[in-house]
Amino acid sequence: MPIPPNRPVPRPGIMDIEAYVPGKAGAKGPNRLFKLSSNETPFGPSPRAIEAYTQASEKLSLYPEGTARELREAVSAAYGLDAARIVCGAGSDEILNLLAHAYIGPGDEGIITEHGFLVYKIAIMGRGGVPVVVPETGYTADVDAILANVTERTKMVFVANPNNPTGTYLPKEEIARLHAGLRPDILLVLDAAYAEYVRREDYSDGRELVDASENVVVTHTFSKIFGLANLRIGWMYGPQHVVDALNRIRGPFNVSGAAVAAGVAALADMAHIETSAAHNEKWLERLDLELSRIGLNATPSAANFVLIHFPDEPGRTAKDADDFLTARGLILRRLEAYGLPNALRLTVGSDEAMTLVLAALADFMGGRRG
């Protein structure tokens, strides 16, 4: 007879999950740091959001309204969506995990792309599912490769659009082609965390597919362009039956009242958002030009970051560059966990931060090590 364990044991598969490791937030040595590792906006949140959050402190002893109704209604007004088909969560990460909770069981498969957001794999494995990793083409999701990997066990397909950490995106026609090739019982999850930064005419977050079908959802976040990462606010737009499923398993007060208040106020200040988007577009264009002059290749990005590739030669690797930049107080994102050991992800920061990064990279590639 087997000897029982002497302590609680997680169910099979849990300890096989590699925990998510965020980008580093600091470093010893430099007097001044520029954190460019987590895709945070350099403009911070709208002053209106800060004021609303401060005023919400008067109600800290009270439970919030359980469905984040005011935030759902504000999202509805801002994006032209049905508030009844919106679910809010503690960041879009919670919603992604709730979707896996609702639709993936032991042995079920969830498709993710080669360099896709790490949370997808964690969400799938956390429910006992099997992540099916599909190769990308040119650091971009490949529709044909995804469809070729669909099996009878496939339950979900996760696509970040634009993708993190590559910054690439699929045009709306390609997303529509992907959806058309999936069985109606497979849920297509479109993660549009960076959608508000995109300035491409052929892009859509996919809401039109949500309206026209029963197996597509779109997720958004307030952590990026809205500057509310610390409050953890996300939302999903989906078919009513998916919304109903998620509302049965989410926490009844999963979004705090202060977060709701700040989110509502942030949505009312679109001028602040446009300022952030214009600044980002300016630097995406400049980074593409300046990095090329320095001798570095960057994957074209539609988001608020760029993927910079480094030579695979001694002294000039991504690790060497990261050490060099960190010594100057410039914190970028290492990407070994994403299968990109010789690349760094650079968040578009302030004018000062970007100028310093370009100067530092020029020194690094030029051989200056002081």
- Structural domain boundaries of the chain? 16-44+271-366, 47-268
Q: What is the pLDDT of residue 5?
A: 86
SS3 367: coil
Class at the top of the CATH hierarchy for domain 47-268: alpha beta
CATH assignment, 16-44+271-366:
3.90.1150.10
**Secondary structure E strands in the chain:** 34-35, 86-89, 109-113, 130-134, 154-160, 187-191, 216-221, 234-237, 297-299, 305-309, 330-331, 333-334, 343-347
121 contacts 148 by C-beta, under 8 angstroms: no
C-alpha to C-alpha distance for 259 and 265, rounded to whole angstroms: 10
Give per-10-residue mean pLDDT for the chain (370 aa): 85 90 75 93 98 96 97 98 98 97 98 97 97 98 98 98 98 98 98 97 97 98 98 98 98 96 97 97 97 96 98 94 96 96 98 98 80
pTM across the whole model: 0.95
pLDDT score recorded for residue 367: 63
Instruction: Please tell me the distance from the alpha carbon of residue 244 to that of residue 348, in angstroms, as a whole number.
Output: 38
| SS3 at position 67 | coil
Looking at residue 185, its pLDDT comes to: 98
Cα 309-325-293 angle, rounded to 5 deg: 50
Q: For position 369, what pLDDT does the model report?
A: 52
What is the pLDDT, as a whole number, of residue 79?
97
pLDDT of 23: 78
For residues 224 and 280, the answer to whether their CB atoms sit within 8 Å is: no
